[in-house]
Amino acid sequence: MEQYLGPVLLVLPLLTFLGGLLLGNWLAIGRDRRKEINDAALKIHVTLLKGGRLDPIDADLYLQMLPLWPRWRFRRAVERHQKATADHQYDPSYGTAVFTASAAAELKSSTDALLGHTRWR
């Protein structure tokens, strides 16, 4: 029995050390990935809070970083927001877009959905 104790005492700490390295690396990669996703989401979030138009390049960059299921939900929210922003009439006397009450409600709802997708994680 004592003849096996020496190698076990050598191998067990080595395996524990390697397991710690792998776990630490996996957690660091996850942290870095979340940071990249949050940086991409921040651009969209600030633009929407300022009342600006959603930049398709920023939306696509954020979309490419998301996992499959959130990607599908975000893409659906972007399409809904684009449809809501396109549903307006131009008022030449003011030089701005005029939304009906239902279109304005849909625009607010779709903007809130996008803000929910781009919250801090």
Q: Is residue 27 part of a domain?
A: no
The answer to whether position 77 is within a domain reads yes
Q: Yes or no: say if 98 and 89 are a contact pair by the CB < 8 Å rule.
A: yes
Q: At what angle do helices 101-117 and 68-86 cross, to 10 degrees?
A: 150
Q: What is the mean pLDDT of each run of 10 residues along the chain (121 residues)?
A: 73 86 83 87 90 88 89 92 80 72 85 86 65
CA distance 25 to 63: 25
Per-residue model confidence (pLDDT) at position 29 = 82
Which range marks the domain in which residue 49 is found? 37-117
Number of domains in the chain: 1
Which helix (H) or strand (E) is 68 found in, with range? helix 68-86
**Does any domain span residue 6?**
no
Assess if residue 47 is contained within a domain: yes
Within a domain: residue 63? yes
> Does 52 fall in a domain?
yes
pTM of the model: 0.68
Residue 62 domain-assigned (yes or no): yes
Residue 9 lies in a domain: no
Residue 5: per-residue pLDDT: 73
